[in-house]
A and B are shown apart, each in its own frame.
Chain A
């Protein structure tokens, strides 16, 4: 079992590196991406700085100016994701195929023993394709997803490919409610 566990960790390291390498080749090194990224970063920094000063002295004209800048930033952000989209499609197809392949290799195998019993709505993932009622048995997909979550982010950070915090905040992250910027 332990060799399977380690193998899966290695697989996810390899796929994370492959994925980032592929994205770098197709997107990150292109001039268009570099330019857009620079613009978005500069604009979100400026916006953040301005918001700090404007919130203290709320002026109608200034607020409108701020909103206009936000709009521009949103357009730039959209362009940026359009550029990324192309490679996202390519890499997601590759990874779907890879995932399918690994899934069939590890089908029905207990690859790890969980030190906790997962809550109900995670069991579908952690006990996928496994027989038996022992919910501490871990399926391939759960371990792979966890590994990918941690390794991919770290690989991006190490190579400086992750978007800056100001930019991801402005683009409206996964957890931040929409329209958060204009409410302030």
Chain B
């Protein structure tokens, strides 16, 4: 918490924190302070976008991890997709409601938070799943590779 208060302790953000509504701002570059805040339970988010960015990156990391695990275990078919969608949504839900304890209404409902960055995460998951699956299940090809 000390890290979050030191990074947000300027005059302009202090006034916006007092208002009940969070303000939206442009997505900023990923910084160390941002990562620290994302890992702090019930951190104070000065901008609406900041929390959504945290959810976005959480999803990206999750999709790589799930993709690598499923690829290594050679999980096939629809089951893999369902596992990905269920686990990543569940963890995002737990992160938002139990770890950060945000008010979903600020972000247009829980569905909006869970939907955040889903398509990109799906693509990331598919790439890591396919790459790992191919690595373990590649048939011995006679064609020379480049």
Contacts and interface: CB of A to CB of B under 8 A. Distances in A.
Interface string B71-87: 10011111011000000
Contacts of B74: 115
Contacts of A2: 131, 134-135, 138
Nearest to B28: A160
Contacts of A159: 29
B80 A115 contact: yes
A161 to B, nearest CB: 9
Interface of A: 1-7, 9, 41, 45, 48-49, 52, 105, 109-110, 112-117, 138, 143, 146-147, 149-150, 153-154, 157-160, 162-167
Query: Interface residues of B toward A: which range?
Result: 35 or more
Given A5-B134, A112-B130, 20 more contacts: A1-B139, A2-B135, A3-B145, A9-B127, A48-B24, A112-B134, A113-B133, A115-B77, A115-B129, A116-B80, A143-B127, A146-B126, A149-B123, A150-B127, A154-B120, A154-B124, A157-B56, A157-B57, A158-B30, A165-B27
27 contacts: A1-B134, A1-B138, A1-B145, A2-B135, A2-B138, A5-B131, A109-B143, A112-B131, A113-B139, A114-B133, A115-B70, A115-B129, A116-B81, A143-B127, A146-B130, A150-B123, A150-B127, A153-B120, A154-B120, A154-B124, A157-B56, A157-B57, A164-B24, A164-B49, A165-B24, A165-B48, A166-B49
Of A6, A110, A112, most buried by chain B (CB within 10 Å of CB) is A112
A71 to B, nearest CB: 21
Contacts of A4: 145-146
B42 to A, nearest CB: 23
B68 interface: no
B52 interface: yes
Contact of A157 (B25, B53, B123, B134): B53
Interface in B4-44: 21, 23-30
Contacts, number: 110
A138 B130 contact: yes
Contacts of A150: 120, 123-124, 127
Contacts of B27: 157, 160, 162, 164-165
Given A150-B124, A165-B24, A115 B141 contact: no
B contact patch SS: helix
B97 interface: no
Nearest to A165: B49
Nearest to B121: A150
A54 to B, nearest CB: 14
Nearest to A105: B146
A149 B80 CA distance: 20
B146 A113 contact: no
A96 to B, nearest CB: 21
Interface in B47-106: 48-49, 52-53, 56-57, 60, 70-71, 74-78, 80-81
Contacts of A154: 60, 120, 124
Closest 7 CB pairs of A and B: A150-B123, A149-B123, A164-B26, A160-B29, A150-B124, A115-B133, A112-B134
